[in-house]
Amino acid sequence: MIVAMSKFELTALSEERARLLAAMQNTRSVELTLDDQLPEESGGVQSEALSAQLSRVKKAIAFLGSQAEAVPDKNEALKGAMRDQIVLSYKEFLTIASRESELMEAVARAEEASAALTERKSARSKLTAQRAQYLLYRGVGDKFSAFTDTRNTCCFFGLLEEAHLLPLESFLRDEPLATASLYFNGAKENVFPLAVFCHREAADRVAAVLTDCGFARCPFRSESTAEEEAARLDGEIARLLEEEKEIVVSARRDLALLQPLKIFSDYLMVEIEKAEAAETFFRTKATFTARGYVPESERENVRAAIAAETEAYYLQFFAPTEEDEPPTLLKNRGPAKVAEFVTNMYSVPNYREFDPNAFVFFFFMVFFGVIMADIGYGALLFLGGLFVMRTRKANDGVRKLAAILTYGGIFTAIFGALFGSCFGFSLYTFLPDPSSGNRTNVLIILLGCLALGLLQITVGYALNAVNSIRKGHVLDAICDSFTWILFDVGLFFAVFNFITGYFEIPVPEGVAAFFDVMTLPGVIMLGVGLVGAALTAGRKEKIIGKFTKGFGAVYGVINLLSDVLSYARLFGLMLSGMIIAQQFNKIGVDLISSGAAGYAFGPVVIFIGHAFNLAMGVLGAYIHDCRLQYIEFFSKFYTGEGTLFTPLGSRVEYICFTE
């Protein structure tokens, strides 16, 4: 059911704006709208300050969250603090404001710890890279300062790849002024420390050859060996690691505040929402005017909340006009509420149309049950979905999907019982078994699926008529909806005996006699519906438009039959699931009967096979079921494109409210 909404307009003193916004927020029944006449000066100072504060809190949450993830043995309290879906009442949520100073101190500590860790990690990274460079000279043994130039000689000390040694040695043999070259054991494969001594007159020639060979000159000139420098750096790195550990230990003392910080983060988001809304209010020097939407049933509660804060106000409610686009508030219970998840994935219902969720639930679950059709699978889906619903308190997407699977499990078990199937084993025969290979059985189930499709499409036209009548367009309901309902019903009566006779499907005598009587009325209904649709389709067009629209209506029969054929996927998915289950059962049973090894592997094959079949079956059932709702069903009546009612104070990230 879509709740009736009222527009409201509140004018009050500017000095009481903050209190009145808080009062409206506490009702959780007010959605504010932006004013077309924006104030000339809306600097947004408050919202900017709150946004900056929120940014700091979120960074602190991210930092503490990373620290919590790194804790090896997490206790239940820490696991609870790490959860994002925090369930609490709205009154409990608002009390977090009293801890602002405490939480902001924790934010400051987190910022300091994060900066200190970043600084030390950066320094450690630099020292580690420097140590790696020193270790390349580990095999030298001498101090770096030993490899220096003298008055008459030059020393080239550095690294050279093994592939370039032969060209260099060839050059040095032919260069009389190159007096010596020394090679050392390298710490890196195929790269060697090298020292070349030559007379100053040959320095340029030696330098050029070394450059061509890819020689990398050593940058170090210290009075230490490579081993000594590496040991010194090891000490520095160890010291930094100890400091990091101390910082982490200190930071983890605030992990208990991780959940309160998440709550405070959402509180700031609500405060920002209020501040941004206040900045768009039309206002004078002394007053402001707020506009928005309130559910009709909540008008007096909102009035009482405002009156409790001030006597200086003017509040009026009035009905939305045709030009307005009120938000959509859905209030369904039980099964219809479960279907909201499916419908809203496509589009939120428009405020002015009929809420289709009750019908979506019925058809979605029937189709789901037809596709899966197994007692065992239904029991598993029901128990698994029920377990998730009972253990997950947050009413998020996971819980809503679990509710769909719970109901889907019930319908799966019902249709499984009708087919007598349990984990692929046939227990008995009630409805014809399509996996038996019997032509008649296959045709009965296939035609039954097509009949379900024709029924859903007809209901879609009926809902389109309801939407038209709700808007006062009775003629549109007759011409665009009832004509096609007449066509669909007439089509069913007209072709039933023909199809069952053509495909040699046995029908009880009483049923055949009934459809014999209804065949002629069915043909008349079919013809009247089609002619009526063709003649009235262009009623709003000019002469040429009347003809083209009428032709389009006749051509629409092809689209209608194509839509009906789409429901054959129900049969295909059901049949494939049954056959896969039976094949895994056969393989497992054959293994068990083959001998001792089969006793171990047979049940494993059956278990894995059914797990795979169940997973693929649920995925296929959900996707194709949704497709039938969105394309074949919704295309007949559904407008959608609505916006969910979002009351002030409900835009949160971590919180799930219990009331």
Quick check: 41 pLDDT over 60?
A: no
Structural domain ending residue among the three candidates 519, 536, 565: 565
Spatial contact of 636 and 585, defined as CB atoms under 8 Å apart: no
Q: What is the pLDDT of residue 541?
A: 74
Section 379-386 average pLDDT: 95
Residue 630 to residue 633: CA distance in whole angstroms? 6
Structural domain ending residue among the three candidates 307, 327, 347: 327
Spatial contact of 356 and 332, defined as CB atoms under 8 Å apart: no
Q: What is the pLDDT of residue 396?
A: 76
Residue whose pair of structure tokens reads 């296939």 in the numeric block: 446
CATH number at residue 299: 3.30.70.240
Model confidence band, residue 92 (pLDDT cutoffs 50, 70, 90): confident
Q: What is the pLDDT of residue 353?
A: 92
The average confidence (pLDDT) of the chain is 89
Model confidence band, residue 514 (pLDDT cutoffs 50, 70, 90): very high
The tens digit of pLDDT for each residue in 221-276 reads: 899 998 899 999 999 999 999 999 999 999 989 988 998 999 999 999 988 888 88
Q: What is the pLDDT of residue 184?
A: 64
Residue 228 lies in a domain: no
For 656, list phi and psi in degrees, rounded to 5.
-120, 120
The tens digit of pLDDT for each residue in 309-321 reads: 988 999 999 999 8
User: Do 315 and 204 fall within a single domain?
Assistant: no
CATH number at residue 182: 3.30.70.2750
**Lookup: tokens for 276:** 């941004």
Residue 289 lies in a domain: yes
Amino acid at 31: E
Quick check: 27 pLDDT over 90?
A: no
Q: What is the pLDDT of residue 648?
A: 87
Q: What is the pLDDT of residue 35?
A: 60
Structural domain ending residue among the three candidates 515, 541, 565: 565
The tens digit of pLDDT for each residue in 110-121 reads: 999 999 999 999
Percent of the chain scoring above 70 in pLDDT: 96
Q: What is the pLDDT of residue 528?
A: 93
Section 355-376 average pLDDT: 96
Residue 137 to residue 216: CA distance in whole angstroms? 12
Residue 356 to residue 369: CA distance in whole angstroms? 20
Torsion of CA 156, 160, 166, 172, to 10 degrees: 0
Q: Pick left, alpha or beta for residue 437 (phi over 0 → left; psi -120 to 50 → alpha; otherwise beta).
A: left
Residue 659 lies in a domain: no
User: Do 213 and 306 fall within a single domain?
Assistant: no
Residue 261 to residue 368: CA distance in whole angstroms? 42
User: Do 470 and 545 fall within a single domain?
Assistant: yes
Output the pTM of the full model. 0.79
User: Do 286 and 212 fall within a single domain?
Assistant: no
Domain that holds residue 17: 1-39+281-327
Q: What is the pLDDT of residue 183?
A: 63
Q: What is the pLDDT of residue 318?
A: 92
**Lookup: tokens for 423:** 């984990």
Closest CA to 139 of 89, 92, 185: 185
Q: Burial letters for 236-273: b for 16+ Cβ neighbours within 10 Å, e otherwise? A: ebeebeebbeebeeebbebbebbbbbbbbbbbbbbbbb
Quick check: 632 pLDDT over 60?
A: yes
Residue 461 to residue 484: CA distance in whole angstroms? 7
Residue 504 lies in a domain: yes
Closest CA to 317 of 37, 29, 649: 29
User: Do 309 and 211 fall within a single domain?
Assistant: no
Torsion of CA 229, 234, 240, 241, to 10 degrees: 170
User: Do 187 and 287 fall within a single domain?
Assistant: no
The total of structural domains in the chain comes to 3
The tens digit of pLDDT for each residue in 191-216 reads: 888 888 888 888 998 899 889 888 99
Element (H, E) at 465: helix 439-470
User: Do 443 and 534 fall within a single domain?
Assistant: yes
User: Does 73 or 154 have the greater pLDDT score?
Assistant: 154
User: Do 211 and 318 fall within a single domain?
Assistant: no
User: Do 462 and 556 fall within a single domain?
Assistant: yes
Quick check: 185 pLDDT over 70?
A: no
Quick check: 554 pLDDT over 90?
A: no
Quick check: 513 pLDDT over 50?
A: yes
Residue 234 lies in a domain: no
Section 340-354 average pLDDT: 93
Q: What is the pLDDT of residue 40?
A: 47
Percent of the chain scoring above 90 in pLDDT: 54
CB count within 10 Å of CB 322 equals 7
Sign of CA dihedral 377, 382, 386, 388: positive
Model confidence band, residue 611 (pLDDT cutoffs 50, 70, 90): very high
Q: Burial letters for 356-382: b for 16+ Cβ neighbours within 10 Å, e otherwise? A: bbebbbbbbbbbbbbbbbbbbbbbbbb
Q: Burial letters for 475-496: b for 16+ Cβ neighbours within 10 Å, e otherwise? A: ebbebbbbbbbbbbbbbbbbbb
Residue whose pair of structure tokens reads 């300091």 in the numeric block: 112
Q: What is the pLDDT of residue 139?
A: 80
- Give CA 579 to chain center in angstroms: 33
User: Do 317 and 439 fall within a single domain?
Assistant: no
Residue 182 lies in a domain: yes
User: Do 212 and 295 fall within a single domain?
Assistant: no
Length of the chain (residues) = 659
Residue 154 lies in a domain: yes
Torsion of CA 326, 331, 337, 343, to 10 degrees: -10
User: Do 285 and 212 fall within a single domain?
Assistant: no
Residue 46 lies in a domain: no
**Lookup: tokens for 36:** 């077309």
The tens digit of pLDDT for each residue in 124-169 reads: 999 999 998 898 888 888 899 989 998 888 999 999 888 888 888 8
Quick check: 43 pLDDT over 70?
A: no
Residue 439 to residue 433: CA distance in whole angstroms? 10
For 336, list phi and psi in degrees, rounded to 5.
-60, -35
CB count within 10 Å of CB 284 equals 10
Closest CA to 469 of 485, 455, 481: 481
